[in-house]
Amino acid sequence: MFEFVSGESVRTLFRKLCAVPTFDHRMSFLHHAPLILCSQFQTSNKPKGFLRQVFKPIVEKFGVHFDCNIRMRGYYPKGGGEVAVTVNPVKELQPVTMTERGTIAKIYGRAFVAGVLPFKLAKDMSAAAVRTIRKEIKELYINIQPLQEKEKAYGNGNGIIVIAESSTGCLFAGSALGKKGVYADKIGIEAAEMLLRNIRHNGCVDEFLQDQLIIFMALAKGTSRIRTGTVTLHTRTAIHIAEQLTQAKFTITKCEDELSSNVTFIIECQGSGAVNPNL
């Protein structure tokens, strides 16, 4: 088990923890055994539910398998969050094709409060998010559960994550964390509008997952294709670095089919085919 204390984005840290230990030949202890890592962090702009409910299911399509145990949630400014990740080594990664979104089949999530904050804030965030989504998506039942975290939470905080799941297994998220002086309903509206923005472009991943998949596309053996919305600067940076460090080659093509909006693209990668020599 390894301990990490980090102030960087927990999503960024997890992306590194899932990709590097899977292949790095210098980690000779990874012949067959999983790697267990603990991270203690101060705060993040994305609720940790994103890692387990959006990032994890999609990354598993590449053949990456990890478990994520949130031991303690930490809130600004005290921090104190703690997450344990177990990463299992693999021989090589599989390429992924995600170009058919299908229809939105489910919308669900959680609105939470911790510490001394009243439960009413969670209910207000949930209700505001549902109202906002209902303006565009009227036919689906929306299940956003208000929760009070009495255990496994350090400090005071509130937030919300809303997830949409498509008929083909694509996942999208909108989220927001509470801030001092900001009404709870505004936090709910912010998360809902973020989700709707990521659904409108008819892509298969949201703006946050987009750049996190680049490293896995680059390491996979074969050609991966992912349909997405506007290609973010984070994604373009990740592509540039991946091409410098591996033999992977990326192309970005604007979609021209009838389902495309003005901001729909295909990111294609001929992966480097990295192989774990220890397996």
Tens of pLDDT, residues 127-172 = 999 999 999 999 999 999 999 987 777 788 899 999 999 999 999 9
- Residue 76 reports pLDDT greater than 60: yes
Phi-psi region of 91 (alpha: psi -120 to 50; beta: other; left: phi over 0): alpha
CA distance 104 to 166: 4
CA distance 173 to 164: 6
- Per the CB < 8 A criterion, the answer to whether 219 and 65 are in contact is no
Residues ≥6 apart with Cβ < 8 Å to 272: 218, 219, 246, 247, 248
- Residue 90 reports pLDDT greater than 50: yes
Beta strands in the chain (DSSP E): 2-6, 35-41, 65-74, 81-88, 97-98, 104-114, 142-149, 153-154, 157-166, 171-177, 223-228, 249-254, 265-270
Classify domain 104-200 at the CATH superfamily level.
RNA 3'-terminal phosphate cyclase, insert domain (3.30.360.20)
Fold observed for domain 1-90: UDP-n-acetylglucosamine1-carboxyvinyl-transferase; Chain (3.65.10)
Residues labelled as active-site residues: 234
Which two three-digit tokens encode residue 155? 């400090």
- Residue 27 reports pLDDT greater than 60: no
Which two three-digit tokens encode residue 224? 């991966």
Which two three-digit tokens encode residue 128? 């505001």
Q: Residue 203 has what pLDDT?
A: 93
- Per the CB < 8 A criterion, the answer to whether 170 and 98 are in contact is yes
Q: What pairs with residue 110 in β-bridges?
A: 145, 161
Q: Residue 277 has what pLDDT?
A: 86
Q: Residue 137 has what pLDDT?
A: 94
Confidence (pTM): 0.84
Q: Residue 49 has what pLDDT?
A: 77
Which two three-digit tokens encode residue 180? 């001092």
